[in-house]
Amino acid sequence: MATTPLPQLIQRILKEKCPFCGTGEAFEKKSFFEVPENHSHCPHCGHDLQGEPGFYYGAMYVSYGLSVGLGIITFLICFLIFGIESSTWQIGIVILVVLLFAKKNYLWSRLIWLAMFPPKKKKKD
């Protein structure tokens, strides 16, 4: 686990910056409809962002947790705040919100995984 304080680490992850320095972009900028790719190393601090092959398989667990959490929060907002009692509408709204956040979920889950299990090696100069 990085020694960065948790609120600062969360801020870096939400901004999609390198979780180690908070300055470098963690992903290559692409158009809205393309799936972003990790930089192999942070452009600012040079920390390894790729890890060994298959490193990001574990991010699927984080992604699942984020999706379930978002679904529960959406359901509670629908039910308690807006008073929507039709289960068809509740399920439809939950699916819609989870799909709208799919790309952010993908990026954030990778950064959370990276912050939880930082690769050991540094960039070779």
Q: Quick one: which segment of 10-18, 60-68, 77-85, 116-124 binds Zn ion (CB under 5 A)?
A: 10-18
Check residue 122 and report its DSSP letter: B
- Our finding on whether 18 is near Zn ion (CB under 5 A) is yes
If binding means CB under 5 A, how many residues of this protein chain bind Zn ion? 8
Contact 44, 21 (CB under 8 A): yes
Q: Quick one: which segment of 17-25, 51-59, 60-68, 101-109 binds Zn ion (CB under 5 A)?
A: 17-25
Burial of residue 63 (number of CB atoms within 10 Å: 0-12, 13-18, 19+): buried
Site map (CB under 5 A) of Zn ion, residues 40-79, x = contact: --x-xx-x--------------------------------
Three-state DSSP class for 14?
A: helix
Q: How far apart are CA 59 and CA 47, in angstroms?
A: 19
- Residues lying near Zn ion in the complex (CB under 5 A) are found at 18, 20-21, 24, 42, 44-45, 47
